[in-house]
Structure formats: C-alpha cells, structure tokens
Chain A
Amino acid sequence: MNLRVVGCNYRTAAVELREKLAFDAAKQDRAVAELPARFGCEVVLLSTCNRVELYTARPPQEPAFDLDRVAEYLGEVHSLSPDVVRPLLYERADAEAVVHLSRVTASLDSLVVGEGQIAGQVKTAFDFAQKAAATGALLNALFPHALRVAKRVRTETGIALGHVSVSSVAVDYVRQVFDHFGDKTVLVIGAGKMARLTLKHLEALKPKRILVTNRNPAKAIEVAGMCGGVPVPWENLDAALAETDIALSTTGAPQPIMPAKRFEEKVRPKRGSGTLVVLDIAVPRDFDPAIHDGDRVCLFNIDDLTRVREQTIAARHAHLAPAEAIIAAEAKKFLDDWNRRKSGPVIQQLRTEFDKVRAEVLAGVLSKLNGKVSDADKAYIEGGFRLLQNKLLHGPIAALQQASKDGESRQMLDAVRKLFGLSGG
C-alpha cells in the first residue's frame, strides 16, 4: 500500500486561506484529469468549505505523492507559493490515511461533530473521480469502505443525534407542542436574517397561513412576498398574536415589544384554549420570559435554543470514543483484507509452482518404479510427496500471512518471489 492523504482543514488553515485553496468545479475537473496522467497515481479530491484534501495512491515501489509534491501542485493550481501552502498542510500515510478518511466521512473530524453533510460530499468527490477514471484498485476499495463505516458509526452510536442549528432546535420545540400544522397560523414579527432562516424551516411544516408584521410596512410586505404570507399592520400585533399558534420574533427593538403586562391584558384574554409557541430569537429579547408557562404559552428565546444546541454537541462528543473504536476496528479489517488481496495471488502461485514440481518429480520416480509397486503403494508415495510439499510450504505461507496482518507484506512478497523464483511483482 502506498496511500497518502495531504490537505488542510479548518484547524490548520484560516478561512481566507481555505478559500484560496478551494477547488471549484473547473479546477476539480482539471485536477482529477491531470494528476493521474502527470504523476501516475490514483486520486480523489475532496474540497468543502472546511477542508481541501487530496487522496492519492501509487504503486508500492514508487515514491509517494507526499506533502512537498502536493504543496507544489496546490501552489501551481492556485497561483500561490508552495512555501505559503506547505505550513497549512498535514499528511497521513497508509493505515493512518485509512483511519483519517473514515473519521472525516463519519464526521468525527468536522467542525460540528456528527453533521450529516460530509458523507455526501465524500461520496460526490469519489463519484466524480471515479467517473473521470482517476481511481484505481486501492481508492475504489477505500472510499466505499469509508462510506460504509460512516453509516455504521451514525447508526450504532449517538454521534448524529439531535439538531445543532438554532433554527432546527426551534422547530424541534414546535414539534413537541403541535402534531399537525395544516390548521396553524405562524406570525413573523420583524425581518432579521435569522427570522428568514427559521421561517424557511417553519414553512416546511406547511402551516395554514403565515402573517408578517414589521414596524416598517415595506419590510413586512417584502417578507410576506417571500414566504407567501399576509402582511399585518404593526398596530394589530396584539390581535394577530391572539390568533397565532407559532410566533417567530426577531425585531431589533431595544426594549421588549411584548412585556408580560401587555400580553396578559391584551393577548391572553382573547386567545382560545390553544397553545402559543413563541420563538423569540431577537437580541435584546422581544417577549418577556414571564409569559412562559409550558402549557398555554411556550416561549423559547435565543439563549434556550443555543443552550440546547450546546447540549446536543456535548452529547455527541460523549459518543466519540465508541465511534473511534468502530473506525479502528474497521480500518484493521480493511488493511487485513487489502494485504490478503496482495499476498493471496503469490500464495496461489507458490502452490501452483510446487504442485508442478511435485508432479514432475513424482512422475519420474513412478516411471522408474514402474511395475514394482502396487496401486496402494503408489497412492502412499503420492501422499508422502504431498505431505512433504505442504510441510515445506507451511513456513513461507505462514510468514506471508503474518506479514499481511502486520502490514509488512511488500518486503515479504518480494523475498518469497526471489527465493522461489516466482514471476510478477
């Protein structure tokens, strides 16, 4: 095995540098076409917003496509000096590279541990390289292995449990209160960027109607137009809240727009028996937390949502150890299988050669003894020769198998080939 991964990620390179090293579709196209032709290597290029990694495999006897070569190549592609690129790069070889790819694919190496996008990005990168015929035996085995391991990690550990975006956590809370949304009204108060993001999640629930209110009527009309909602005058906020099931508030008001007194006097008496969920993601807060009772009114502000997000991330970190154990076990299995694949043909060749020699020697011996031995004696002699062959081969085959397990099969394969005069390599 002569496998290398060289790259940079959010830990080793600042975002400005990652941006410079990122591969757009055209550059990626060029790289997967050029690298195999120029350097005779298999290649998969993984370029995401958090990492740029080059996975290469070359024949064992050739020098690896190492960090220096990658630094030069990246410098050439992105018009940067290799000296600028080199300090940002890390390198993993062979077994470490196998583990690294599995960790990346299973999202153990991600900025947000357990995020679900990276496995798809790895698959896309592999498919892209495969279509460009830039992959060979090793990478064609390695990438499906990593994707399989990532799936196992996600299903057998809690690494991907829960949601880590504030918008998703907000919707999780809404789902704890409501079961169906076809009869629900969503009220959007304000028009901050976060509101639009959360509103996208709420829109996916397909509520009956969306009302939008803003101090600036033009902004209310703009947001309402974007989400198919109905603009409501700011003065009608109390009335709108009285008929709302889910309120999403994100104004830039310096004071709460809904103090508890106003809510109790002007909103609560007009509401029926339904629950109101308020997602107050404004800073400073728009709604007085005192209105929250967990039954009629469920109020969640940005602190609540962020706290849950952090809890989820912490909970995911608790699953790192079992995830690492799965990856280590699977990597060992992959390496054993790979090495067995390399030594298997040599063992077979060895056996065939010995069978041939045995058959020749046996034929000579039996021809000299022609007529002097019975069929039973012939069978006995044949058995003896076979036993001798097996005993002679036991040592080399066991050594080959052990070297495969230890990952040192290349030297052993060369030695066995030379010792027994086998062809190939």
Chain B
Amino acid sequence: MPGFLPNVTHACFELSYLLALAAELARLRWPRPWLRVAGLLFGAAGLFAHSLFLALRQPTPATAYGGLLVVAWVLAVFYLYGTLHDGKRAWAVFVLPLVLGLVGLAFLAGKDQVPLGVPWESEHRVWGALHGVFVLCAAVGVSVGAVASVMYLIQADRLRRKKNPLGGVKLLSLERLETINRRAVTAAFPFLTAGLLLGAVLMRQYHDLVDNWLSPKVLGTVGLWAVFLLLLYLRYVVHVPGRRLARLTLVAFALMIAVLVAAHPFAGGTP
C-alpha cells in the first residue's frame, strides 16, 4: 500500500469537493471550458479520496458518522455521473453543497461514536447489517429526491416568474425533475419499509425495552416512513402539484438527516 494512503483524511475530499464547487460556480459567471475540466478533476479527486477513506477506515454505517459519509459518497457518485453525462446542467451547484454538508455533519457527529456492540459472527450482526443496508438505500433515494426537489422548486419558480428560459443556471425540465424525484422516492420506500420491519424484528428479539422503542431514532424512522407513505398517497392518489411534492420530499430529507444523526438505541452493546 503506498505510504500516503493512510493519511487520507476528511480534509482531502472535503477540500477537493469545495474546489470543484468553486470551479463550477465560477463557470456560471465565466463559462470557460477549462473551468469545467478543473471542476471535474477536483470532483473526481474528491471522490477518489472519499472512496479510499471509506475503504481504508471502514467506518460502520450503523453510526451517524459512517452512515452520513456513505450517503455523501453515493451523492458524490451521482454528481460526477450527472456532470459527465449532461455537462450543461449545474449538477455541482446543487449536489456538492449537500455532499459537503453531509461530510461536515458526519465530522460533527464524531467518528468516535460508539458502534453497536454486536459480535461479528452472530446472526444478529448479519440481519443488522442487512437492516443498515436497507436504511442506507432509502437514505440515498431520499437524498437524490431532495436534490431533484430543490431543482424542481427553482425551475418552477423561474417559470412562475417567467424568467428567460436560457438565462441563469441550466436546469432539467420540470418533467425530468419530477421523474427523478418520483423514481427516487418510489424506490426508497420499499427499502425503508424493509429496513424498518427488520429493525423492529431485531429489536423485539434482542433489545425489547420500552426506552429503545421510544428512542428518537426509532420514532424518527417511523415518522419518516409515514412521510413517505403520505408522499406516495399524494402523488399517486390525490395527484397534488409537483411543487408540493417537492416540498414534502425536502421534509422527508430533513427527517432522514435527523434519523441518521440520532444515536442508535442500542449503541454500545446489548443491554
């Protein structure tokens, strides 16, 4: 292993993402091809460092620290794919602040957060990991939906105010943004449901205490699930306007962040 690898820190990828964002913001004012290349290079360097960090440090996604870093990584992949696939749109302007925010939040949540005290070889551990994967998949879906929602609200506002269609930040059409939001939320719901059910079964089996059931993380997850259900109901049954769905998706995203940051009810070991 090259000697520098263990030295990859938060600062490496956070600074790279920050420079990529700065290059993209500068490109809005001065549309120079080299700024796009610079943004892409910084973004790719950030993602590389981020990937190395996750691979080498292996922070457990069961903690807020690990979970937020993994969600941020998936969003960084989403940003880079979007930028390479459709370079005319200002993906970085919308996705990178979210990535930076999640990494910053992970840093604040603290890498020393106590992981779950469950032995590796136990059956609980396997099901617990599966529960974590489901919840993380749902988190990624909500995050993608949230990015699309922010874009949707800005685009709808521009249309409402009848701004120059080719002026300002280049955005996707309302239809495309709505489709991204719909697919992300619809795909996230089964993962969230499965994660929630699996978590409930595990808690019933191994940590069946009233305090655990009433912990902020559990209640928040149930609330998140309810918001998801409401989102799907409003979309597929009531057919409410896209703007309201976008706002509700942002509420779901905020709730998801709160759930991710909240301490796990049985962190530190089985009672």
Contact = CB atoms under 8 A, between A and B. Distances in A.
Interface in A300-314: 300, 304, 307-308, 311-312
A308 B241 contact: no
Nearest to B163: A308
A179 B173 contact: yes
B236 to A, nearest CB: 9
A298 B158 CA distance: 11
A169 interface: yes
B166 A163 contact: yes
A175 B173 contact: yes
A162 B175 contact: no
A208 to B, nearest CB: 14
B176 interface: yes
Contacts of A175: 165, 173
Most chain B CB neighbours (cut-off 10 Å) among A175, A273, A292:
A273
Interface size class of A (residues with CB under 8 A): 20 to 34
Interface in A252-301: 272-273, 275, 292-296, 298, 300
Given A175-B165, A311-B164, A272 B176 contact: no
B172 interface: yes
Given A292-B160, A294-B156, A312 B175 contact: no
A390 to B, nearest CB: 43
Contacts of A275: 174-175, 242
Contacts of A173: 159, 165
B157 interface: yes
Interface residues of B, number: 25
B85 interface: no
Contact of A176 (B155, B179, B243): B155
A294 B175 contact: no
Nearest to A172: B165
Nearest to A271: B239
B166 A161 contact: yes
A292 B157 CA distance: 12
A322 to B, nearest CB: 11
Interface string B26-40: 000001000000000
Contact of A293 (B160, B176, B179): B160
A312 B160 contact: no
Contacts of A162: 164, 166-167
Interface in B215-244: 239-243
Given A176-B165, A294-B159, 7 more contacts: A172-B165, A176-B159, A177-B175, A273-B242, A275-B242, A296-B241, A312-B164
Interface of A: 158, 161-163, 169, 172-173, 175-180, 272-273, 275, 292-296, 298, 300, 304, 307-308, 311-312, 315
> Which 9 residue pairs are nearest across A and B when measured between Cβ atoms?
A294-B160, A273-B239, A172-B165, A179-B176, A294-B159, A179-B175, A179-B173, A162-B166, A295-B241
22 contacts: A162-B164, A172-B165, A173-B159, A173-B165, A176-B159, A176-B171, A176-B174, A178-B173, A179-B172, A179-B173, A273-B240, A275-B242, A292-B160, A293-B160, A293-B241, A295-B174, A296-B241, A298-B159, A304-B162, A308-B164, A308-B165, A312-B166
